[in-house]
Structure 1
């Protein structure tokens, strides 16, 4: 029995060595010579690495048979080899299916891999083709650490991550990547083309860029991919203006200057996708709707982003900030999410005028390592959640401005801090005293030692609606009401006497606009006399 140590991660126990001329494989072993090799029977109960390729110019043909077990690797090509092909093989239940390490040239064709708790297909090297293969129920379906390689017409489903791009200048096209936790992840690398794939109905994201990835991940082409709901996945890495569009997912990566207005992002019915903004500056989102997704809006290593007048409801997280500074959230509805606003290692952001309600957690501040979520300014928001505030780690933030005149978020006439409510009606602002009626609670609201709202908003008591006096209706006496007669008037001759009208001086209680009284004359006659007198005097 030979024990071969391939690397720190692969320890192989092998009982056979297949050399040139030994084309039939009946058990696990090492292929150390060029040639065509095929499985003549199934290989089961594998616990180590089964087939090791240590030669150039090797073809392994499974002939439709399988390799199965509880651990180990199905086929492993050691470093520095070239022109390696694995085809027509089923692998199940192992840690890894097919692994190429620094292989140049070759192919993986018509391979079916299931149940691997690490990677179905894991490649590093250059110029490798993966086609017509299926990977399911693995931790990672296909991993491309390779460069200048191509994945085409593969089906990846029910994996934790369907496809991982971690190399450069690769092409991923016409694949079906569905029902994974994450469909396709761009972890690192640049110059890749990801086009014309179906990447849909994945649990969290159809396409995802990890928050820890550097800005080089933005230098890739992601286009014409169909996401959840049959809608396009939008990926932009240059300045752009857009309005009145609908996406399955929207990713802005490495953008300097963008204006997005009245855009809707809607993933699957299972709350996936959202808006991802990474390594970007000067982005404005106005009146967007990102609801019932995994994340409403996520800011990663970005600054100068404004999200205003938008609807971010029914997501796992309404707004997430990760290592981001100088961003503004204003006038948004952030409601019915598991977490309304999550601020992770982010500083000097402003939250103003938002309705943050009906979330499990309203605002969650997270600090990890040396970085902290601190120096953020959070004021004039309405918070009404199961738990309005949660802090993990440390960090001091400002929760109010100095009181300034103006209409606040609940209609009061001073702007200061925030309105703190609970669904049960027992929030600090709902119960606080406001003896001077300035719309500010008489005492501060202490969240913890480093986070105090010194000017929490008080509830506004609506003024009572005006009431009209009740006038009892009058009942006319029909029998005593005289029949109206037409008014008989006569125009005086132009040469007649002049009628002089003098307006009496009103007393302080008299209405100066009232008509003077002339005893014995009815009101219409008096008005006619006055008009005639004025007309004659003017002649």
Structure 2
């Protein structure tokens, strides 16, 4: 019954698989039976019995997981063991699968929990493929004294589970084996180990996170370790120990805890074309000689790119690219060679010649990155040697191309417009010192396409784009890896444009230009689409217009004498043209006409109190260059253009008449200076009129109502003089003592005559009339009933507009000799001879002297002076500008005395005459 059930199961399995049993295939399950050619065979070790009974070139297929305590042995040749993805497991004893036959293929199985997973011993031409080997006590795959075997595409991991030093794949005394495309990781010792082995190929494997080295080559030679990826192993990516003539090439070795490649007492090995990055050390050479290292890229390794230590010498290291913070360090090493003779073959940067090394640093401070060391003739070789130390010198370092490609967009043009169904050809020119690797087109920041090289340009056609604006960007990468930032271009898809451009000619204008001068063309052009072309046509030739700051410009020169017509022809991107704009001008002797000038302000004869506003109109066909005014033919002022006029303000002008001349210059250097006017600055009026309070008083009388001797300030708003109370108080009061007053007045009059003071009578300047003869002036007697009006009878000698001074006197003041001296110091002394007659100048203004009405009648009649009776110290301070001239005595005006018959008699003989405006002061007798 049991046999029947087993038979039934086997029949069902055969039916399900659809495989017809053949005489050369044995099927093995875990029922202690194996099946061949329709027969079942019972066995305590069915897979072992199946292997022993399989014919040559036969196949053993395992249909289920098998538990095999002592493993299996394959000593037959030319057979295939297909585990069909099933697991063969043991009890951590023996060898899982031991192969000593030749031409044995073991595939598609899982081998675990043995001392050794798979062992080839003295086997040849065997193939171990697509197996998963893990969790074994020692090595995952152990190849002993075997050759020409192929170990490929296996997963070998976590072997050495109890901490025994093992390897994932271990070759011992073996040769000509190929270890390819395996993944070897997390093994207790090495990922792949070669011991005393030669001529083996270790290629295309991924070896990582092993607890010692990725690949360990010990006492082995002529092995090739190529195209592997080795990373994050706890010691080294590759370790060679006492090995020689091995080739380590084109591996990617990174992030190993010690070094990428460690050569320990190894000689004449070749290390080339590897990328070794982010390890503690890039390469370590320890007491290793005569090795050759070239075309390696050592990048961003922590301690150094290459470490030469303990007697390392005579190694040749050339055509490598170093880019580490410290590229080379030395410790007890000897002389090594850092460049080959110049070889005419491509170097590591795709340059034309191979020689020394490239020396970069991530900080950008490497030898090859410094401008002073870079190539100057395009061969990528530096003309400067690089001394690492006294025994290690790179004589011909590489100075690589660090300049990105230059991209120029040929089409479309910037801001071009295209029709709805129009195909847009993107055509770009790309140049670089080295070879162009690729050119990328990006449209609207969304998708990218590789452009196709077409001779010296790269092109791509675009269609079916939406309406509106589109932006393209071009990225170019050279063979060195330099990429341009990008070049961009904007164009639009729109309905066709049928409107020609609008053209406005700014210059030249219709006028005459001087022969030999340059004529500027300036044109404003506007259009909905882009401007395709713009040029000017004059006479029988054309001139291209250049766009600049929103205008189209150029210069015409050497034009012939006569009339010229300039046409502007503009075509937009849609093909619409405007050729109707023109201007006609002449070339002759040029503009020789000065500007037309009109003085608007001030007008002739205007009078001003202080500042004068100037307003000038100046016009000229060639334009006005500048407008200036000359004041009194001495001082020049430049006027400012304001609207259609030129304006300015003259300040700080002296009193009197001034002359203003206008100088206007046009752009052709013609000047008009014919316009001249005169105006006057008036002298301020510092007097005021006392209000009439009595019918007996004369309306034109002027007095000092307080009878005090101070400088009276001018009220700027009313033009009247405002009494200063504080100064009046300091002058004291009138003394009632007749004798004392008489003595003081006599003394003061004497001093005034000595000093030549001007009459203090204010009525002389205020009277609107001048006497026509020298008769005595009207004089009034002093009356006790009119104490405030004591200054009658004086006559006005005329006002001088250039004089500003005011003299004030008060007969009632008591003044010391010191005060008198001070007064004379301020006004200046005026000396006259005894024969000269005292005269009052017409230009002296508002000379005021009030006599006291409180002096007793008759006591002062014989002692009153014609001049200031008070000796007031400040009364003369206002007359500093008055000067006495001995050479030009002027006619005198009669003076009035308020209290004396004698003074009337003296004045009756005086003569009054008009004074010349040029006279400043008359001498006083």
**TM tier, shorter chain?**
0.3 to 0.5
Structure number with bigger Rg: 2
Please state which structure has a larger fraction of its residues in strand.
Answer: 1
